[in-house]
Structure 1
Amino acid sequence: MKPDDFLKKATKPIYNGQVRSEVKEELRDCIEDLTEEFLSRGLTPEEAEERAVRQMGDAGEIGLQFHNVYRPKIEWLEVIWILGWAALIGGLKLSGILISPPISESDTGLRFVGILFLIVAFCDSAVEKYMDLPFLYAWAENWGGAGLGGLANASLFAAIGIGLWVRTFQQLVSLIVIVNIVLQFQRLSISRLRERKEQKYLWEIGVAEGDFDYQGKIKIDGDIKKVRMKRGQTAKKGEPLIITGIDGFVLLSENL
């Protein structure tokens, strides 16, 4: 197996495109180091390269391990963030700082605003995951492993919505649990749909359906799919293109 074929197969199961590129380069460095070692032992370049790839192990098994590590998972940082800030905002309301006690029908306006914030939170979260980029963020950046502070995507709206809607501490606890479950289910479902689409077409070769320089369509495995070309490249009708990743739900392609 050639190094490029090994690297494609071993890193294909990695869901995150940036992580996939970083891991791919690390594996490439390992292969190059092993190749240099075998060259120093007197092997020919072809023999050294082949031996180095074999030394790396089974590409399929390596890919499976990467998949288990990097597959979409529950975003626990977001869960904690919503819990903390919703508890703070809700606590301010229930303690009478946001509204004079006792809390009754006088907070109807706040509850209505809270519902609006929750609706925006779910819509924002869906857009964020569908497009695979933060719609509104500061430090959290789509919960890619950053810290817990800042204006964090849909979580900001969810926390405010929870805090403004509740009238009792029991409601506060219940709504935090419910909103977190629904948000995580929504985000995880969209992420895994994207993952399945990317895994189906990654490194596959299709044919351009027409001329285009940014976005167009290709025929791949009998299906017509919308693709986006790598910046600076163009496609001609009938030209073979290779799928190199996914941006949101749009496949990314490059010239062969």
Structure 2
Amino acid sequence: MIEPDLSRLARTIGDPTRMGMLALLMEGRALTAKELAYGCGVQPGTATEHLKRLQRDGLIESAAQGRHKYYRLASAEVAHAVEALMVVAKPMKVVSPCRRPAGALGAARFCYDHLAGELGTRMTAVLIERELLEADGEAMDVTTRGEAWLVDFGIDVTSLRRRRRRFAYSCLDWSERRDHLGGALGAALAERMLELGWICRQKHSRVVSISELGHRALAREFGLAIDSSESDQAVAISS
């Protein structure tokens, strides 16, 4: 009989440096060993050994480009597992040159490749309230009205359903303790908002910045009024 080796996985992610690397990669972009070492406060040589362990256990993957090797999470399932651990973990103060204040992370951020934080959870709630999205436990799906809205928004729902990745599911947000939209649909919404210039990624951070165009668009499309006068502090979002 074959069973998952949970004890080995627990030992791998139980190391603070390796867990820190996974958290940094939750931004969704590939990072070099040097960037991950800097973000976790360890020497590059030490980081390399940790990265080898993470890769052996299937948690990350690497790709060479030019003189550099870039690392990213191996799958959306790994990101989902890390986010789930963030939900149950007790909060602690972290001083790191690559980390932004908790207020900014809590306001709007990427959870791997979909939106999280207060922005992500509020958007998800609006989609459900307007009956564009329906939830059945962890599973989520779009309604007939929702599919029409998504097509108008520039998202090909039929193509998303054909992918091997889960179409849509509720992802419990560690900072909000409410659900945000994950899966291929959540990623497509975030990508479309990036394309439209509503939001942008902050370098070496999961924090999401909202443009002036984005403020107006979020108010128009989702009824969300966002006060971002203190960009690095908590962002108040009301609907």
TM range (shorter): under 0.3
TM-score, with structure 1 as normaliser: 0.22
- Greater fraction of residues in strand: 2
- Greater fraction of residues in helix: 1
Q: Considering only CA atoms, is the larger Rg found in Structure 1 or Structure 2?
A: 1
Return the structure number with greater relative CO, CA threshold 8 A, min gap 6.
2
